[in-house]
Amino acid sequence: ATVGLDFAVADLSLAPFGRAEIRLAEHEMPGLMALRQEYGRTRPLRGARISGSLHMTVQTAVLIETLVILGAAVRWCSCNIFSTQDHAAAAVVVGPHGTAEQPQGVSVYAWKGETLPEYWWATENMLTWPDGAGPNMILDDGGDATQLVHRGVEYERNGAVPAERHGDSEEWRVTLGILRASLEASTDKWTKMAAGIRGVTEETTTGALRLRQLAATGELLFPAIDVNDAVTKSKFDNRYGIRHSLIDGINRGTDVLIGGKVAVVCGYGDVGKGAAESLRGQGARVVVTEIDPICALQAAMDGYEVRTLDQVIGSADIVITTTGNKDVVTVEHMARMKHQAVLGNVGHFDNEVDMAGLAGWTSVRRVVIKPQVDEWTFPDGHSIIVLSEGRLMNLGNATGHPSFVMSCSFTNQVLAQLELFANYEKHGRKVVRLSKRLDEKVARIHLAALGGSLTTLTADQAGYIGVDVDGPFKDEHYRY
Ligand code: NAI
């Protein structure tokens, strides 16, 4: 029992609804349930103090409670201001056996519709353990928690973090402005915290990129496992997850008919492939933009037109960015879009679309249609509809990826936490991936749950293709 649990969520009375949806989700998350079976008795995460920053959804609730069942103490926040499902957050705070009056679950700092200062306040609280011990593990999505620890340490070492260090990043300038008071107030808080952290496991493409950048300059302070690049994560969640949740977000946000419309998907990586497929599934005429000739050729072979955004922006009814890059849709593009065309981003950060430029456009007018749906009207009278203020619209306008695919991702997350918590000393300050054997294990569990029957190699066949009968079945360079 937790006495005096600290937390900040929207409304604890939503917990019964959250608990009901968590119960349904558990059945759809066979990987996490298998880990509860396998490790629930030995509790190998005993002693782990995990600070987690990842969309506080129903699926994440099942992840959090799996970590607790495996022995961990956990604190949580969301990694996006719009992605929290308030009933899930409430249920996690109350816990399976607590009540709204006596919550017995996990300290969660998350609610739907945070401001940016609230977001960073929540992130800092998630990292600040009440007993002063600090986390010994981070579980991150997009790298904001990891970044805060690293910038905190830098502040304490140098007395400042030069803004120009991050180039022209508006996002970082805003963040730094918000964090400055807190960073300046600390003398050794972040340095002490970083010293106690065994490692971080990172959920998404953008966060993995930030980790590799830190490792390349020798700044990475602890080992990291890139969960995103497990095959059973990025080739499933990023692709099949977005295939489900992208049109869910468009539909809940706008209810506009997708069939027959021209939909532009910027980026044809894992997320872009799923996005294009889901829009085509609705009958849209899909156009892809790419900078990489290999991905562009894939799009062409898959039957999509490949164009530049400049060529198609004037005829697009729906524009979706999936690149993880910045400045992909500029305000000049927006000004050329059709009346009431829909613009949404599913890449990790909102700098993919130039929201600051839009807000600063002369005489532009914003009308809030409903939360996370804004109509922006240009001086000539035509308007565009922007979803979730340019932030992950599949989580802001809908509920993100469904449970089954998140079970693949989160099973990898738990395996990564187990690996780093036990073996952090072996890893060094590097970014590594989980073994292919574990990847195949995650796939096996989920294939069985779908009723698939796997063919078994004969010893003779295994010898012929040079693998073991029970795997791993592919070399590292294989791309699936
Ligand atoms: P990826 O690297 O597989 O794909 C990104 C693609 O965008 C690449 O093929 C790249 O060549 C292309 N690209 C880069 N700059 C471009 C530009 N200016 N114009 C056109 N194309 C450009 O990455 P992945 O895994 O598809 O992830 C993309 C983003 O989505 C990341 O920020 C990731 O964190 C995020 N993500 C979001 C999810 C969600 O639920 N909304 C789920 C998983 C990932």
Q: Is there a binding annotation on residue 382?
A: no
Q: Residue 246 and residue 393: Cα distance in Å, rounded?
A: 8
Q: Is there a shared CATH topology between the 12-234+400-438 domain and the 242-396 domain?
A: yes
Cβ neighbours of residue 472 closer than 8 Å, sequence gap 6 or more: 435, 436, 437, 439, 440
pLDDT at 292: 98
Determine phi and psi for 346, rounding to 5 degrees: -120, 5
Q: Is there a binding annotation on residue 141?
A: yes
Q: Is the CB of 345 within 6 Å of ligand 1?
A: no
Contact 319, 329 (CB under 8 A): yes
Q: Is there a binding annotation on residue 228?
A: no
Half-sphere exposure of 366 (CA within 13 A, CB side): 16
Q: Is the CB of 347 within 6 Å of ligand 1?
A: yes
Contact 333, 356 (CB under 8 A): no
Tens-digit pLDDT profile for residues 229-238: 999 999 999 9
Is this model's pTM higher than 0.90 or not? yes
pLDDT at 164: 54
Q: Which fold has domain 12-234+400-438?
A: Rossmann fold (3.40.50)
Tens-digit pLDDT profile for residues 78-134: 999 999 999 999 999 999 999 999 999 999 999 999 999 999 999 999 999 998 889
pLDDT at 1: 38
Q: Is the CB of 394 within 6 Å of ligand 1?
A: yes
Domain boundaries, the chain: 12-234+400-438, 242-396
Taking alpha carbons only, the member of 220, 270, 225 closest to residue 435 is 225
pLDDT-derived band at 167, boundaries 50, 70, 90 = low
Measured from the Cβ of residue 265, the count of other Cβ atoms closer than 10 Å reads 31
Half-sphere exposure of 52 (CA within 13 A, CB side): 28
Contact 319, 387 (CB under 8 A): no
pLDDT at 186: 83
Q: Residue 337 and residue 372: Cα distance in Å, rounded?
A: 20
pLDDT-derived band at 169, boundaries 50, 70, 90 = low
Q: Is the CB of 288 within 6 Å of ligand 1?
A: no
Tens-digit pLDDT profile for residues 182-212: 888 888 999 999 999 999 999 999 999 999 9
Report the CATH number of the 242-396 domain: 3.40.50.720
Cβ neighbours of residue 353 closer than 8 Å, sequence gap 6 or more: 321, 328, 329, 334, 343, 345, 386, 390
287, pLDDT greater than 50: yes
Determine phi and psi for 312, rounding to 5 degrees: -115, -10
